[in-house]
Amino acid sequence: MGIVKVDVRDLSWAVANTQILVDVALSCPNGAFVGVVGPNGSGKSSLLRCIYRVIKPGSGSVTIDGRDVWDLTSRALARDLAVVVQERPNETAFTVREVVLMARGPHKKLLERDTPDDHRLVALALRRVGIEALGERMFDTLSGGEKQRVVIARALAQEPRVLVLDEPTTHLDIGHQHQVLDLIRALGLTTIAALHDLNLAAAYCDQVVVLHRGSIRARGAPSDVLTADLVEEVYGVRAALGRHPLTGRLHVFVDGREGKPMC
Amino acid sequence: MNGAVPNSRPVASGTTPVVIGVLLATLFVSATVAVMIGPVSIRPDVVWRVALDHLNPGWLSQTWQAFEASIIWEVRLPRVLLAAVAGAGLAVVGATLQALLRNPLADPYLLGTSAGAALGAVGVLLFGASVVGGLSISVAAFLGALTAIVAVYVLAWQDGRFPTGRLVLSGVAVSYLFSSVTNLLIFRVPSGEQARTALFWMLGGLGSARWDALMLPTVVVAAGTCTLVTFARALNALSLGEEVATTLGVDGDRFRRIGFLIASLSTGVLVAVTGGIGFVGLMVPHFVRLIVGADHRRLLPAAALTGAIFLIWADVLARTIVAPEELPLGIVTAFAGAPFFLWLMRSRGRSGWAS
């Protein structure tokens, strides 16, 4: 299974004269975990949507192993790249297993049936995220966290080489947040994830990209990028950096109560 | 809704061939019995001997009366077949639109088709063919449907796509506009009898069923259903949302366009022949979803067969309850179908949209 490199070059995108993304560039090397952080409205989701080819940027390019995503069909892209998005369907009448089985679609020819291999991959994906017992449940009846894990299982069953995740830990309790990110790290896929929680970003990412008002404010290893000044500037909260008492890892402490006014 | 009911799909996927087999057998029996029932009762063997004799003349020795053959071949069989085609088409289109629009209330007429067809048909019925250039009722109805559909898509069009919300809203608005004109025409017509005829057409019926009127709907519904079944995986993905579908390798825009084209064309052709038969396209997909689940690879074939069976029986009721008069079919479909559906919804508890 080959691992791939994702490159974003000089990406700009505007909607009705509002610049959403301005000259964004990032490189996600083979098998690396790149975290995209930044406040609400900084352009994280838009950047990811450009990468998974739902938004066509005004200028710039996204390439996977040197191939522009817009030169691929959606089927071809979906065989290489799986997406976990914030927006989830409600009001569906599908079971969990059916939702995860949809991951096999891009690997199928027209009218090709599901094979035992497909069912095995689905069962494996459900087991990996710890919801094998929920396979026959109706998707709609699950809790937010369970749904999130179903969507992650679907991404796994897609057998991608690149994972793009938009807030994959939203709706998860702290235990499952770490379980899911541990799992994603262990997969060793080239991964780009938008994350709200700076401490999760510090713990799991090889590289962090800080977006602020559509531009990249900083990028690099978490310990180099996540400074008190930067967190204060970008998020408008007072911040201090320290070490986690258990792990010794970088930890960001914030106090928003006397923070600077949002600008 | 009902805590004792497991939150899982009622039928496992392995049983699908059984469900389809049972539905096919039921369809065959229903069609046979429906041809037997009427002012003149006909034996089941005669039904199929006459049909086979027409397909291959002289093959069977004639054991039936000439009038029986004429009743079967000229009147009842085309009517039963039209019921089957219309029921299947409306159910498949309803299921498709519910997935594409991600709206459980979507039905084949949501996007203006029946309101447009009604205006065309009522125009001819009330003012005579001469006013609209010598068109037959069904041609005028089809043109009306086409006008309404085009208006809906043009109004919903934005930045090269048809956003779901705009499509539903323009469908509803255009429907109301066309209906208001139709109602004005009916209200202003001096003769109550004419108004009754117009109302009868709008509520749907299969009285116009003849072999030559059967051809086009059959071809369109069959081709449309087959195409949609081949796209069943894409429909599954699209019912999770357009963006999710794209990430699962489905070209959302393209499939939506094909889906809407098939849905509009099938509905337009059907409504032109049968008028606006309500309930089938809305409720049969929900009913079938409760039985076989939401996967369109199972849902679409099962919905087609169930819609066909349902409409065959609804039409039998429509032409026998007040015989020799006929009830509009739309009245029967809703009156018979709604209580049954509600009973099923409450007894199956949580599954599908009806949870």
Q: What is the ipTM of this complex?
A: 0.89
B6 vs A64, more confident: A64
For A249, the domain range is 227-263
| pLDDT 10s digits, B150-175 | 999 999 988 878 888 899 999 999 99
How much is the pLDDT for B136?
84
Note whether residue A1 is domain-resident: no
Task: DSSP letter for A58, please.
Answer: S
Where residue A37 sits, what CATH number does that domain have? 3.40.50.300
> Model confidence at B96, in pLDDT bands (50, 70, 90)?
very high
User: Is residue A145 in a domain?
Assistant: yes
* Residue whose C-alpha is closest to residue B109's, from B276, B261, B256: B276
Nearest alpha-carbon partner for B329 in B344, B312, B314, B343: B314
Is residue A192 located within the same domain as residue A236? Answer: no
- Residue B353 pLDDT greater than 60, yes or no: no
* B266 in contact with A, Cβ within 8 Å: no
Q: What is the mean pLDDT of residues B134-142?
A: 83
Report the C-alpha gap between A56 and B255 in whole angstroms. 19
Tokens 């699962």 sit on residue:
B248
pLDDT at A2 (0 to 100): 56
A234 lies in the same domain as A203: no
Contact A141 B355 (CB under 8 A): yes
Question: Are residues A243 and A179 part of one domain?
Answer: no
**Hey, is B288 helix, strand or coil?**
helix
Nearest Cα residue to B178 out of B264, B119, B265? B119
Distance, in Å, from the CA atom of B256 to the CA atom of B169, rounded to the nearest integer, reads: 17
Cross-chain CB nearest to B247 (options A83, A92, A98): A83
Distance CA B218, CA A146 (A): 45
The percentage of residues in chain B with a pLDDT greater than 90, rounded to a whole number, is 53
A155: its two tokens: 């991404």
Q: Which of A15, A74, A83 to mutate to test the interface with B (most CBs of B within 10 A)?
A: A74
Provide the sign of the torsion angle of the four alpha carbons B173, B174, B179, B184, taken in this order. positive
Residues forming a β-bridge with A162: A81, A190
Nearest-Cα residue of chain A relative to residue B99:
A92
Residue that wins the pLDDT comparison between B346 and B68: B68
Tokens (6 digits) for A256: 């928003």
Task: Grade residue B14 by pLDDT with cuts at 50, 70 and 90.
Answer: low
A130 and A254 co-located in one domain:
no
**Most confident among A84-93, A231-240, B65-74, B173-182 (mean pLDDT):** B173-182
Q: In angstroms, rounded to a whole number, what is the distance separating the alpha carbons of residues A150 and A141?
A: 12
- Structural domains counted in chain A: 2
CA B351 to chain CA centroid, Å, is: 24
Q: What is the percent of chain A where pLDDT is above 90?
A: 63
CATH of domain B13-30+90-354: 1.10.3470.10
Shortest Cα–Cα distance, B236 to chain A (Å): 8
Same domain, A199 and A252: no
Q: Which residue has the tokens 């959302």?
A: B252
Strands A238-243 and A250-255: antiparallel
Instruction: Tell me, yes or no, whether A178 and A190 share the same domain.
Output: yes
Lowest model confidence (mean pLDDT) among A1-10, B21-30, B196-205: A1-10
Instruction: Give A-chain residues touching B300 at CB under 8 angstroms.
Output: none
Residues A186 and A102 both lie in one domain: yes
* Interface touch B295/A52, C-beta < 8 Å: no
Per CB-CB distance under 8 Å, the chain B contacts of A109 are none
Measure CA B230 to chain center: 20
B 79-108: CB under 8 A from A: 102, 104
Same domain, A205 and A240: no
Asked whether residue B134 carries a pLDDT value surpassing 50, the answer given is yes
Q: Which pLDDT value is given to residue A245?
A: 87
B299-322 burial code (b ≥16 CB/10 A, e <16): bbbbbbbbbbbbbbbbbbbbbeee
Residue B24: which H helix or E strand, with range? helix B16-36
